[in-house]
């Protein structure tokens, strides 16, 4: 039996070669197969990308709190230091004022400003104040009321000698007039003015039974606790004489006018305070003084001094 007879799907024979007039029809390419002459791999579907390696994601960073805490602590400490400095400065100034008023026997309500230089707290720890300035606009010193300023260095807090202290009395012309009037004695002085480096005192004097206008040029100075006023020239009427002029017929009569006049204030100052100079400065007369370093350890130096002849 033939194949056609044995099954329902007979095998068709491969077509024979019919020659160049009847070429063989090639089979269509399979789906996805590359076209003839194409590069290897052409026509293939794109390869899916390979999975990348897993990337480690860092956990969210927690903001450190310690810098904030440290900042707050620093601010609090700074506030405490500033507050402590403010309180210490006020207390120290008040204590200095009280002790000075007591030591110098000044009125309890005496106006006095105290300024402590630098930062006070370290100086308190060291036991010595580097720079203390005291000032008052009005302090009575004998017949004179003057402004006083003192600059003290190395002020001991818990005992010990003072480093140094220097100061000035500033005497106005009207107060100076009182001082010169007190020093002039019998010579009548009506007014006092400041002229350059000299003090000019004007008044009148009786000469040969007549009252004659008088003007004295005085050079101020200080010596042994006394304010001194030394006449350098005298003008009587229209005549001016120098202290060294002895040829004038009036020299002998005017000689008493050229005597140095002295005003002692040592009995109004502590014995440990020493006058060192007196000069004209603008519209005031300025007396300079210094203090003995032992004035903070020797109570006797706080007692008033004495004038010569007392």
The separation between CA 121 and the C-alpha centre of its own chain, rounded to angstroms, equals 16
State both tokens at 39.
């590069």
In this predicted structure, the answer to whether residue 2 has a pLDDT above a threshold of 50 is no
State both tokens at 236.
């009587």
Q: Residues of the chain with pLDDT > 70: what percent?
A: 68
- 179-233, pLDDT tens digit by residue? 777 666 556 678 888 888 888 888 887 777 778 888 888 899 998 888 888 888 8
Burial class for 12, CB neighbours closer than 10 Å (0-12, 13-18, 19+): exposed
- Give the DSSP H/E element, type plus range, for residue 280: strand 273-281
Cβ(156)–Cβ(296) below 8 Å = yes
Burial class for 108, CB neighbours closer than 10 Å (0-12, 13-18, 19+): exposed
State both tokens at 111.
């106006």
In this predicted structure, the answer to whether residue 1 has a pLDDT above a threshold of 50 is no
Question: Quick check: pTM over 0.75?
Answer: no
The separation between CA 1 and the C-alpha centre of its own chain, rounded to angstroms, equals 134
Going by the DSSP 8-state scheme, the letter that residue 299 receives in this structure is G
Question: Cβ of 155: how many Cβ atoms within 10 Å?
Answer: 20
Name the 3-class secondary structure at 236: strand
Cα separation, 155 vs 127, whole angstroms: 9
State both tokens at 127.
């036991």
Cβ(290)–Cβ(164) below 8 Å = yes
Indicate the average pLDDT of the chain. Answer: 78
- 269-306, pLDDT tens digit by residue? 899 999 999 999 888 889 999 999 999 999 999 998 88
The per-residue pLDDT for 272 is 92
Of residues 289, 269, 287, the one with CA closest to residue 172 = 287
Pairing type for strands 144-156 and 198-207 reads unpaired
In this predicted structure, the answer to whether residue 116 has a pLDDT above a threshold of 50 is yes
Cβ(133)–Cβ(150) below 8 Å = yes
State both tokens at 188.
């009548």
State both tokens at 77.
């400490």
In this predicted structure, the answer to whether residue 78 has a pLDDT above a threshold of 50 is yes
Name the 3-class secondary structure at 60: coil
Name the 3-class secondary structure at 127: coil
Which residues, in sequence order, are CB contacts of 307 under 8 Å at separation 6+? Answer: 225, 226, 264, 266, 267
């Amino acid at each position: 039996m033939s194949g056609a007879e044995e099954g329902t799907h007979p095998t068709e024979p491969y077509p024979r070669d019919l020659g160049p007039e009847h070429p063989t029809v090639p089979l269509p390419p399979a789906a996805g197969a590359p076209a003839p002459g194409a590069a290897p791999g052409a026509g293939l579907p794109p390869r899916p990308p390979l999975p990348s390696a897993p990337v480690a994601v860092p956990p969210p960073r927690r903001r450190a709190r310690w810098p904030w805490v440290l900042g707050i602590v620093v601010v609090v400490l700074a506030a405490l230091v500033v507050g402590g400095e403010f309180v210490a400065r006020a207390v120290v100034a008040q204590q200095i004022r009280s002790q000075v008023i007591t030591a110098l026997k000044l009125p309890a309500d005496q106006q006095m400003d105290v300024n402590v230089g630098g930062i006070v707290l370290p100086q308190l720890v060291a036991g010595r104040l580097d720079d203390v300035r005291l000032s008052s606009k009005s302090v009575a010193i004998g017949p004179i009321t003057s402004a006083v300023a003192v600059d003290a260095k190395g002020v001991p807090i818990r005992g010990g000698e003072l480093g140094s202290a220097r100061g000035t009395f500033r005497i106005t012309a009207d107060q100076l007039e009182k001082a010169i009037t007190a020093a002039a004695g019998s010579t009548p002085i009506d007014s006092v003015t400041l002229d350059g480096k000299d003090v000019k005192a004007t008044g009148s004097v009786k000469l040969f039974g007549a009252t004659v206008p008088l003007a004295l040029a005085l050079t101020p100075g200080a010596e042994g606790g006394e304010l001194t006023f030394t006449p350098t020239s005298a003008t009587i009427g229209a005549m001016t004489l120098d202290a060294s002029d002895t040829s004038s017929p009036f020299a002998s009569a005017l000689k008493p006018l050229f005597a140095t006049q002295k005003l002692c204030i040592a009995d109004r100052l502590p014995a440990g305070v020493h006058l060192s100079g007196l000069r004209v400065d603008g519209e005031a007369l300025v007396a300079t003084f210094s203090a003995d370093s032992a004035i903070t350890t020797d109570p006797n130096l706080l007692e008033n001094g004495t004038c010569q002849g007392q």
